[in-house]
């Protein structure tokens, strides 16, 4: 019998987990990120190396996800594998991702593919990457070919993961590049182009126009090859709050830079992917605070522990776009798995009133299925529902994973 104290989610609500190719697959040699990790000195704490060897272990990982009771797997297709040199598409790479999709379908798991999750092929970066206009048509061509090869099996498609994040963190990344000129020079040498070629450093300087055009062309290419697949972008949206009354203009300025053009673009999409991790104060100059207020609980990432941020962000994204929303990422980096379980439960409980408010929310994907390569931070951060032994690649299911699976099976929290 249903527990009357539980909050039910809408029927057909989709429960799952997410990851990105570069962070879990391993051996992504043809990517710009790999080159940056091996620059000396590097902005990256350590190289991604074999990551979680998900390239070879995807059948086990998808079986684990399905065994928990989760029904969706958000993975990314690695452009650097599919098109390691310009125009040289790899049939073996398409075949690999076709097997990933088939494996999902065999487990009754919805395959949700992201076409770009931060990394580019090296040849794209060499030409300036996200700082160069040619990326628009190159990305669209890769999406067209990929959707022709793989689109039939997909349940949902995301074009560019967190397409707004370069603009949301532009000031911070500019300061990082200035503060570490040796790393910046080594990155330039490794890429054959300034570090702004790499997605996370690309904000400002016409990035929004380029990225939104790339999204539109990619969306059209995917839809024409696979008309049944809902296509959207995903956005990194934190719950931004003015630090005090005097910072209202600063908050508005930050919103114009980090979100407004992207919300506008998303209004023509099938859905919007929402990705939220925390609450963030904004000062009067429009700068996000680098650290949370004194005395609050912080996660491994140094973020304020704010599971309630997700509901606030969903309200904002719904008001701004009126598009169906999908939580394509939400999670916490924590050594103590009990904090992860609490975070998930609190985040989901706070979502409960949304459906009565008319917000069309389709699903929730936890970030991440596995402890994985957290970009510049390397392997220190533990976002996973499942732990990964770095020496043996052995997987260890955490209690939070079992809890999320139970919530998914009950469709209630
Ligand atoms: C990204 C992930 C990342 C996660 C946690 C998101 O910004 O899409 O790749 O690992 O946040 O930091």
Tens digit of pLDDT for each residue in 281-316?
Answer: 999 999 999 999 999 999 999 999 999 999 999 999
Minimum-distance ligand 1 atom for the alpha carbon of 331:
5
The confidence score (pLDDT) of residue 356 equals 95
**pLDDT for residue 3 is more than 60:** no
CA of 376 to the centre of ligand 1 (A): 11
- State percent of the chain over pLDDT 70: 99
E-strand stretches of 173-297: 231-236, 239-242, 271-276, 279-282
Sequence-separated (6 or more) residues with CB below 8 Å from residue 308:
239, 279, 346, 347, 350
Question: Position of tokens 């390239």?
Answer: 55
Query: Tens digits of per-residue pLDDT, 320-371?
Result: 999 999 999 999 999 999 999 999 999 999 999 999 999 999 999 999 999 9
Give the count of beta carbons closer than 10 Å to the beta carbon of residue 175: 11
Q: Whose CA is nearest to atom 10 of ligand 1?
A: 374
- Asked if 381 and 388 touch (Cβ cutoff 8 Å), the reply is no
Q: Whose CA is nearest to atom 7 of ligand 1?
A: 236
Give the count of beta carbons closer than 10 Å to the beta carbon of residue 358: 8
What does the alpha-carbon distance between residue 321 and residue 316 come to, in Å, rounded to a whole number? Answer: 9
Q: Which pLDDT band, with edges at 50, 70 and 90, does 31 fall under? A: very high
Mean pLDDT score, 130-155: 98
- Asked if 272 and 323 touch (Cβ cutoff 8 Å), the reply is yes
Minimum-distance ligand 1 atom for the alpha carbon of 301:
12
Q: Confirm whether 7 is domain-assigned.
A: no
Minimum-distance ligand 1 atom for the alpha carbon of 161:
8
Q: DSSP secondary-structure letter at 271?
A: E
- Asked if 278 and 296 touch (Cβ cutoff 8 Å), the reply is no
Q: The CATH number of the domain where 133 resides is what?
A: 3.20.20.80
Measured between its terminal Cα atoms, the distance across the chain in Å is 14
Number of structural domains in the chain: 1
Q: Confirm whether 393 is domain-assigned.
A: yes
Query: Tens digits of per-residue pLDDT, 151-178?
Result: 999 999 999 999 999 999 999 999 999 9
Q: What angle do CA 46, 49, 51 make, to 5 degrees?
A: 100
> What 3-state class would DSSP assign to 362?
strand
Provide DSSP, 58-69.
HHHHHHHHHHHT
Nearest partner of 164 among 275, 249, 77, judged by Cα: 275
CA of 5 to the centre of ligand 1 (A): 33
CA of 330 to the centre of ligand 1 (A): 9
Q: Confirm whether 1 is domain-assigned.
A: no
CA of 128 to the centre of ligand 1 (A): 23
What is the span of the domain harbouring residue 63? 14-410
> What 3-state class would DSSP assign to 109?
coil
CA of 291 to the centre of ligand 1 (A): 18
Residue of 367, 370, 371 with the most ligand 1 atoms within 8 Å of its CB, for mutation: 367
Residue of 375, 376, 379, 380 with the most ligand 1 atoms within 8 Å of its CB, for mutation: 375
Query: Tens digits of per-residue pLDDT, 178-214?
Result: 999 999 999 999 999 999 999 999 999 899 999 999 9
CA of 123 to the centre of ligand 1 (A): 24
Q: Confirm whether 40 is domain-assigned.
A: yes
Nearest partner of 270 among 321, 214, 221, 314, judged by Cα: 321
Q: Which pLDDT band, with edges at 50, 70 and 90, does 1 fall under? A: very low
Sequence-separated (6 or more) residues with CB below 8 Å from residue 86:
123, 138
CA of 372 to the centre of ligand 1 (A): 10
The confidence score (pLDDT) of residue 5 equals 64
Mean pLDDT score, 72-84: 99
Query: Tens digits of per-residue pLDDT, 51-69?
Result: 999 999 999 999 999 999 9
Based on the number of CB atoms within 10 Å of its own CB, is 39 exposed (0-12), middle (13-18) or buried (19 or more)?
Answer: buried
The confidence score (pLDDT) of residue 127 equals 98
Pocket of ligand 1 (CB under 6 A): 20, 23, 161-162, 236, 275, 329, 367, 374, 383
Q: Confirm whether 3 is domain-assigned.
A: no
Q: What is the mean pLDDT of the chain?
A: 97
**pLDDT for residue 2 is more than 70:** no
The confidence score (pLDDT) of residue 404 equals 98
Q: Which pLDDT band, with edges at 50, 70 and 90, does 4 fall under? A: low
């Amino acid at each position: 019998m249903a527990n009357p104290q539980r909050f039910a989610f809408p029927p057909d609500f989709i429960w799952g987990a997410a990851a990105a190719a570069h962070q879990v697959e391993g051996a992504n040699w043809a990517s710009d990120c790999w080159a940056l990790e091996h620059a000396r000195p590097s902005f990256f704490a350590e190289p991604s190396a074999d990551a979680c060897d998900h390239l070879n272990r995807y059948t086990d990982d998808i079986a684990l996800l399905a065994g928990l009771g989760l029904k969706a797997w958000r993975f990314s297709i690695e452009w650097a594998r599919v098109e390691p040199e310009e125009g040289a598409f790899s049939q073996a790479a398409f075949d690999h991702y076709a097997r990933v999709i088939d494996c999902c379908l065999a487990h009754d798991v919805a395959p949700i593919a992201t076409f770009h999750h931060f990394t580019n092929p090296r040849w794209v970066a060499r030409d300036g990457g996200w700082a160069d206009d040619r990326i628009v048509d190159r990305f669209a061509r890769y999406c067209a070919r990929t959707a022709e090869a793989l689109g039939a099996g997909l349940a949902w498609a995301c074009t560019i993961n967190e397409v707004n994040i370069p603009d949301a963190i532009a000031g911070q990344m500019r300061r990082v590049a200035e503060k570490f000129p040796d790393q910046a020079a080594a990155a330039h040498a490794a890429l054959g182009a300034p570090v702004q070629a790499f997605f996370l450093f690309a904000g400002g300087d016409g990035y929004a126009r380029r990225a939104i055009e790339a999204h539109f062309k990619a969306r059209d290419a995917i839809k024409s090859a696979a008309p049944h697949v809902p296509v959207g972008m995903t956005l990194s949206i934190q719950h931004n709050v003015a630090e005090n009354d005097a910072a209202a203009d600063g908050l508005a300025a930050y919103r114009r830079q980090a979100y407004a053009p992207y919300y506008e673009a998303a209004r023509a999409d099938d859905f919007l992917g929402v990705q939220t991790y925390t609450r963030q104060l904004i000062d009067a100059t429009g700068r996000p605070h680098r650290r949370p207020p004194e005395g609050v609980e912080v996660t491994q990432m140094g973020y304020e522990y704010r599971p309630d941020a997700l509901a606030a962000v969903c309200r904002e994204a719904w008001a701004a776009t009126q598009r169906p929303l999908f939580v394509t990422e939400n999670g916490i980096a924590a050594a103590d798995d009990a904090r992860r379980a609490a975070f998930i439960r609190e985040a989901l409980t706070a979502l409960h009133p949304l459906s009565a408010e008319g917000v069309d929310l389709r699903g929730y994907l936890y970030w991440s299925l596995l402890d994985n390569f957290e970009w510049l931070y390397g392997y220190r951060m533990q976002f996973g529902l499942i732990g990964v032994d770095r020496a043996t690649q052995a997987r260890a299911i955490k209690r939070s994973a079992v809890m999320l699976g139970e919530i998914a099976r009950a469709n209630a929290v």
